[in-house]
Amino acid sequence: MSHSVFIDGEAGTTGLQIRQRLARLPHIEIRSLPEGERKNPDAKRALMAEVDVAILCLPDDAAREVVALADAMGDAAPRLLDASTAHRLAPGWVYGLPELSPAQAEAIRTARRVANPGCYPTGVILLLRPLVDGGIIPPDFPISVHAISGYSGGGRTMIEAYEAGRGRDFELYGLDFQHKHLPEMQHYAGLTRRPIFIPSVADFAQGMIDMIPLHLDALPGRPRVGELLDCLRRHHAGSEYVTVLEGDPKDRLEPQALNNTNRIELRVYGHEGHRQALLVARYDNLGKGASGAAVQNLGLMLGVPVETRLAA
């Protein structure tokens, strides 16, 4: 059985990589609008009435406009998969992180509307949520997150600057403590206290690392490093895309190792003598952090096998 998909915003970075992943699948028909019709609401409405799923790879305000258009279509509207930030905490939307809990994949399968996770929150949530649910990290514990991403996650202006040789080697940003991913990160990690989140960008296109340091004796149960590792392994056991690894102190992690895949590696480093630990997630900000995750969710929504890896 063939399924039809409309990628609204297919010319952008996320939309382009979704299209490239889906193009190899004979059971997925990708529908498009002519370039001159892409902002025509009547043309968009007509196409949306003909497809099974519309994937929104748009700025937040534009995504909200398309959702309003779908609302007006009633039963004729397709299912929606939104890759923007607009609906990740909105009522009526299912969060598109299948590994969040044992029930999440089924919730995505049956949802009419799925909000694809943000790139930075994906690793943070997959590290923290199992530890919060497992009682190791209290919901009100003070958490700090440091992260680095390739410039492809920064939007068209940043991408053009780096590709023209005008980007800096490394930059901290989000120093107003108001990064748009913070509400999503806090909510789905199960935290009641707003975490401190300091992102950074460097001169490489794709790849991401999230880092969360912990003082083990500040946690109520004073856990050992191995308890953190065991909790993550139990939660993610059997996952197709999540691998939990014991951190080797000799590691030299670089952020690009999983580029063009939908894989994510979670590591736990620690020193029992100093009672310190570091949680680390490594993945592709355009893979499990965006396009790969969207294709994974689409496969669940349609009940079909998909290819989440980007062709070489």
Active centre residues (catalytic): 119
Interatomic CA distance for residues 243 and 233, integer angstroms: 8
Distances (CA, A) of 244 to 120, 225, 248: 18, 13, 12
Q: What radius of gyration, in Å, describes the C-alpha atoms of the chain?
A: 20
Interatomic CA distance for residues 120 and 285, integer angstroms: 8
Interatomic CA distance for residues 117 and 88, integer angstroms: 7
Q: Cβ(178)–Cβ(219) under 8 Å?
A: no
Helices and strands, counts by H and E, the chain: 9, 13
Q: Cβ(205)–Cβ(17) under 8 Å?
A: no
- Please give the torsion angle defined by the CA atoms of residues 35, 36, 40 and 43, in that order, rounded to the nearest 10 degrees: -70
Establish how many alpha carbons lie within 13 A of residue 159's alpha carbon, considering only the half-sphere containing its beta carbon: 10
Counting beta carbons within 10 angstroms of the beta carbon of residue 192, is it exposed (0 to 12), middle (13 to 18) or buried (19 or more)?
Answer: exposed
